[in-house]
């Protein structure tokens, strides 16, 4: 290529985003609050790889789900293996449990994780190709009390993030015992109405008619509103589980709405399914989705270990969160001359060891220029080192927020900055 050709800019891949430092502060805060809350309930972090064998999701997420049929980032690696950038986290945790025999530990097992997921969907507001989930999973607890506890925990996190105006939708999608009879009835109804459905739902009518309820097409929604509902087909066990789940939600004082067409877009759910939506978010308004999956571990060849969990989309969460990041507090070094520069570098080491953020810039400046730079950067403190200070071994510290000035040794000033000791001189 000739060197005078205009250079083509390389930009981020469609549907992916950079999170720049100012915004990253919000992410850190939200993640820290999530971590804090999950640990309060006994959850511990489990980190799994971003790439997994493709069959993990084909089998776990489900062969008929939109995710597997249309949205996976799948490729063949140099070793000829088909690998996939995880579109969700749940199957990875199940794999890790079986691989590391975590089921041998005392149950229930409670895990959480935060990280990127990948789905090749049409990007739009609230829907990205690389997005981030906060995910929690519990294994080995059949009691519907845990179903309600995770919903309550999700609400606690939302409250902590200042998220308001949410609606919690709950349903039961039955189990292996009661779903087949329902599936038959539903398929019959779907096939009878086939001509009215969109091409995608015509296919779903054959392979998995439950998925028709997920369709956003208005005509399909209209048709589906006349379909039989799973709730009327639940076996005694599922009915009882759903009843108790709702009783526990009432106990926690959580408002919810039973949404009989809520089936969720993944194949593995059994019994409880739920979503939390932020009503004002528009089309992509689900900020949290989850449910029970009592068969997945066994279907992967593991022990008979039931599971339940949820995932929140961090991008959507942050778009409705009302949190304020505390301002960064740091010391700017205003020095004059080479000796004072060296002393600044030495002092910064001392202060950093005391846990104080320091900024020493290397460009030569006069005192006035130092102060205007410190102001521009928003420094809370300016440490002044000129000839006098060097001689005395005591430094001037200017509190930029309260316009006070102090004098002291490095450690005395560290004490002041940390709010321990005040030695005001002016």
Binding interface with ligand HAM (CB under 6 A): 88-90, 119, 121, 126-128, 131, 133, 135, 137, 265-266, 286-291, 309-313, 315-316
Nearest approach, Cβ of 418 to ligand HAM (angstroms)?
40
Residues 6+ apart with CB under 8 A from 149: 41, 248
Nearest approach, Cβ of 210 to ligand HAM (angstroms)?
15
Indicate the burial class of 306 (C-beta count within 10 angstroms; 0-12, 13-18, 19 or more): buried
With contact defined as beta carbons under 8 Å apart, do 279 and 73 qualify?
no
Pick the closer one to ligand HAM by CB: 66 or 407.
66
Q: Which two tokens stand for residue 55?
A: 């069959």
Backbone angles phi, psi at 154, to 5 degrees: -60, -40
Pick the closer one to ligand HAM by CB: 121 or 152.
121
Rounded CA gap, 193 and 212, in Å? 12
Pick the closer one to ligand HAM by CB: 316 or 398.
316
Pick the closer one to ligand HAM by CB: 176 or 342.
176
Pick the closer one to ligand HAM by CB: 189 or 266.
266
Pick the closer one to ligand HAM by CB: 249 or 311.
311
Nearest approach, Cβ of 290 to ligand HAM (angstroms)?
4
Nearest approach, Cβ of 202 to ligand HAM (angstroms)?
23
With contact defined as beta carbons under 8 Å apart, do 72 and 57 qualify?
yes
Nearest approach, Cβ of 236 to ligand HAM (angstroms)?
24
Nearest approach, Cβ of 168 to ligand HAM (angstroms)?
12
For ligand HAM, which residue has the nearest CB?
313
Rounded CA gap, 53 and 73, in Å? 12
Q: Which residues pair with 292 in a beta bridge?
A: 270, 308
Sign of the Cα torsion 359, 363, 367, 368 reads negative
Backbone angles phi, psi at 257, to 5 degrees: -130, 135
Pairing status of strand 381-385 against strand 331-335: parallel
């Amino acid at each position: 290529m000739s060197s005078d050709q205009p250079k083509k800019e390389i930009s981020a891949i469609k549907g992916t985003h950079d999170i720049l430092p100012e915004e990253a502060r919000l992410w850190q805060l939200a993640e820290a609050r999530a971590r804090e809350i999950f640990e309060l309930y006994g959850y511990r972090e489990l980190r799994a790889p971003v790439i997994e064998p493709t069959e993990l999701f084909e089998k776990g997420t489900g062969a008929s789900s939109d995710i597997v049929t249309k949205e996976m980032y799948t490729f063949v690696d140099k070793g000829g293996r088909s690998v996939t950038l995880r579109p969700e986290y749940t199957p990875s945790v199940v794999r890790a449990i079986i691989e590391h025999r975590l089921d041998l530990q005392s149950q229930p097992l409670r895990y959480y994780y935060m990280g990127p997921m990948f789905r090749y969907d049409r990007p739009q507001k609230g829907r990205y190709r690389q997005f981030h989930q906060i995910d929690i999973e519990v294994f080995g607890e059949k009691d519907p009390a845990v179903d309600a506890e995770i919903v309550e925990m999700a609400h606690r996190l939302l409250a902590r993030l200042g998220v308001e105006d949410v609606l919690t939708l709950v349903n039961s999608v039955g189990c292996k015992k009661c779903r087949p009879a329902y599936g038959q009835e539903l398929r019959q109804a779907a096939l009878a109405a086939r001509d009215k459905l969109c091409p995608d739902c015509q296919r779903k009518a054959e392979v998995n008619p439950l998925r028709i309820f997920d369709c956003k097409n208005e005509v399909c929604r209209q048709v589906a509103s006349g379909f039989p509902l799973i709730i009327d087909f639940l076996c005694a066990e599922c009915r009882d589980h759903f009843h108790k789940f709702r009783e526990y939600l009432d106990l926690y004082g959580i408002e919810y709405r039973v949404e009989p067409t809520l089936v969720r877009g993944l194949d593995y759910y059994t019994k409880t399914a739920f979503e939390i939506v932020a009503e004002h978010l528009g089309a992509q308004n689900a900020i949290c989705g989850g449910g029970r999956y009592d068969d997945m571990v066994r279907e992967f060849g593991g022990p008979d270990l039931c599971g339940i969990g949820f995932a929140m989309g961090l991008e959507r969460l942050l778009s409705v969160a009302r949190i304020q990041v505390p301002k960064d507090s740091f010391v700017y070094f205003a020095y004059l001359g080479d000796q004072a520069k060296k002393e600044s570098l030495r002092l910064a080491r001392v202060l950093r060891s005391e846990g104080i953020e320091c900024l020493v810039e290397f460009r030569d400046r006069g005192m006035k220029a130092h102060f205007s730079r410190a102001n521009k950067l928003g420094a809370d403190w300016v440490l002044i080192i000129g000839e006098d200070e060097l001689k005395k071994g005591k430094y001037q510290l200017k509190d930029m927020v309260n316009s006070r000035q102090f004098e002291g040794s490095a450690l005395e000033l560290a004490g002041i900055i940390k709010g321990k000791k005040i030695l005001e001189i002016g």
